[in-house]
A and B are shown apart, each in its own frame.
Chain A
């Protein structure tokens, strides 16, 4: 009896929803009925944005989809079948990925929209469309990992592989192992780019003693670390000095760094190894984004 009543209500709601253009777009078809209703229910009051944990990042990363209220507007447009430009879809993808999954948006929404689960759903959908998203290679992916049983192994791994492939595709030198390298700086822009903090400039003090590499738990995890990781920490410091951007950006070591700071703590030359790796990642994200995305 109870179920029958519920089904009738659901049927009535489905007619309402399907009378809207939602059913014609892939996004509209992929979201649940409740989520489509929620898209309609948003009053764009901005409460979610005012309390968003990462909203402040918008000041430095000019992508309006970082802000929840704007993210929702983009999703609504996509679900309504409005063709979004490739650029806009990429921005939305970045917007739903740069999220700490703190659920504050859901908690504060005065209409009661479950915003967090909408981002999670849309993130899942967009990341399967083949556009590489480099921010999956950051602790923003921690929650995605905790929830990995909810996706198939293939769908789970794909965005991670794609991001690494997008980086590797811009690093020709990595594939050309026979090439003889000059000992003068190949690209001064790389060294000049390592300038956000004074710590990042310390790479030039590296004298190649390999202490960083010896104490690195990631390096220690492999029998043949160079096969798995590419350049090792001390070699990345040297690559920064020589301006060998491809080798630094393309090495898995950079993206598999734990940021545990063992290397930096023990460097006899005071090279802030972890801080250099952090800034190299920033430069790589920027570089690859400009080239591929």
Chain B
């Protein structure tokens, strides 16, 4: 099992812990990763400005992976949504395909449409499988309540992404529960984190984030769990600003899924970059039982 790892623009510079923790868990689970240096932006921010610039950026990445005969795995849900959308558009629209390929051919990168785009959570759930993950668990969490945040661009538009059931998804909950933690049910779990408006309309963005955080806290969550750099930066760096600006007294810290899983696999906190999160999550280690419970023999 091998994928071209698509890191995008945010992770390598602002969220290195997401990369190191993902690499660590995937290595233990036997998922091979190939780095393609020439990857560029997925086109997500460009889509607001110029559709064709978005499409070209996105497809160029797919073409690079196709040349290496690899499928793409993203860690970012906005990258995932953009690449999926581009793949979908090119499959259904021959004239767009022709137009984009006319430009890419100059670089020797015509795209035939053979690449499949997957998100980290898809790979863990479908390719590796929850049972295989459970076998690698060394320490389980006991009584830890996690609010799993699915992320908009992974779930919707379902016709394009096909990530999970868009109304009642469960793959993230199953993956969280593989660590022994409880994935709570919370009313706003499928809502947006607010990040797409951060930097554009901060007041609105903060309103939406705060609503979601309050909903998580009221539902009993001790941590939010995310699998997207934008969502995480919003719930971490931006939440810190919200706490100060809106006078909120306690936070709901965000942990990246590979950090949570990594802890259960017994990976050291340095590799997982636990201290790199702005809102501290180091306390979570205390909630682990030292040894895995040995299932009763029949």
**A contacts, CB < 8 Å to B:** 51-57, 59-61, 98, 100-104, 134-146, 148, 160, 196-198, 217-218, 221, 255-256, 258-262, 264-265, 272, 274-275, 278-279, 281-282, 285
Contact = CB atoms under 8 A, between A and B. Distances in A.
Given A53-B40, A198-B92, A264-B156, A135 B49 contact: yes
A57 B51 contact: no
Contact of B9 (A102, A196, A258): A102
18 contacts: A53-B40, A55-B40, A56-B57, A60-B52, A135-B48, A136-B199, A141-B200, A142-B230, A145-B238, A160-B201, A217-B208, A256-B200, A258-B194, A260-B152, A261-B157, A262-B156, A281-B49, A285-B49
B contact face: mostly helix, strand, loop, or mixed = helix
A290 B198 CA distance: 27
A222 B294 CA distance: 52
Nearest to A108: B37
Given A196-B52, A197-B93, A260-B152, A139 B199 contact: yes
Given A103-B13, A196-B51, A56 B56 contact: yes
Which 5 residue pairs of A and B lie closest in terms of their CB atoms, listed nearest first? A145-B199, A141-B199, A261-B156, A138-B48, A102-B9
A142 B200 CA distance: 8
Given A56-B60, A139-B45, A260 B192 contact: yes
Contacts, number: 165
Given A138-B49, A197-B93, A54 B156 contact: no
B197 A258 contact: yes
Contacts of B166: 265
B12, B199, B205, B241: most-surrounded residue (chain A CB, <10 A): B199
B195 interface: yes
A258 B208 contact: yes
Given A57-B56, A146-B233, A148-B202, A258 B152 contact: yes
B237 interface: yes
A13 to B, nearest CB: 29
Interface in B198-257: 198-202, 204-205, 207-208, 211, 230, 233, 237-238, 241
